[in-house]
Amino acid sequence: MTSPEPRLVEVRKNILKQNDLTARALRTRFRGAGVFVVSLVSSPGSGKTTFLEKTLTSLRPRYRVAALVGDLATENDATRLARSQAPVKQIITGTLCHLEAAMVEKAVAEAEWNLNDLDFLFIENVGNLVCPSSYDLGEDLRMVLLSVTEGEDKPLKYPTIFNSADVAVITKNDLAAAVEFDSKAALRNIQAVRPGMKVFQVSAKTGAGLDDYLQFLAQRLTELRSTTSV
Helix axis angle for 101-111 and 4-33, nearest 10°, is 40
- Range 37-96, binding Zn ion (CB under 5 A): none
Mark residues 43-62: x for contact with Mg ion by CB under 5 A, - for none: -----xx-------------
Q: Closest distance between ligand GTP and the C-beta of residue 11, in Å?
A: 27
- Range 62-91, binding Mg ion (CB under 5 A): 77
Residue 225 CB burial class (10 angstroms; 0-12, 13-18, ≥19): middle
Asked if residue 92 lies in contact with residue 71, where contact means CB atoms within 8 angstroms, the answer is: yes
50 belongs to the binding site for ligand GTP (CB under 6 A): yes
Q: Closest distance between ligand GTP and the C-beta of residue 186, in Å?
A: 15
Residue 27 CB burial class (10 angstroms; 0-12, 13-18, ≥19): middle
* Contact region with ligand GTP (CB under 6 A), list: 45-53, 108-116, 157-165, 218-226: 45-53
* Contact region with ligand GTP (CB under 6 A), list: 27-35, 181-189, 198-206, 216-224: 198-206
Q: Closest distance between Mg ion and the C-beta of residue 44, in Å?
A: 8
SS3 content of the chain, % helix, strand, coil (to 5): 50, 15, 35
What is d(CA 125, CA 167) in angstroms, rounded to the nearest whole number? 15
- Which of 33, 131 has the CB closer to Zn ion? 131
What is d(CA 47, CA 176) in angstroms, rounded to the nearest whole number? 14
210 belongs to the binding site for ligand GTP (CB under 6 A): no
Residues in contact with Mg ion by CB under 5 A are 48-49, 77
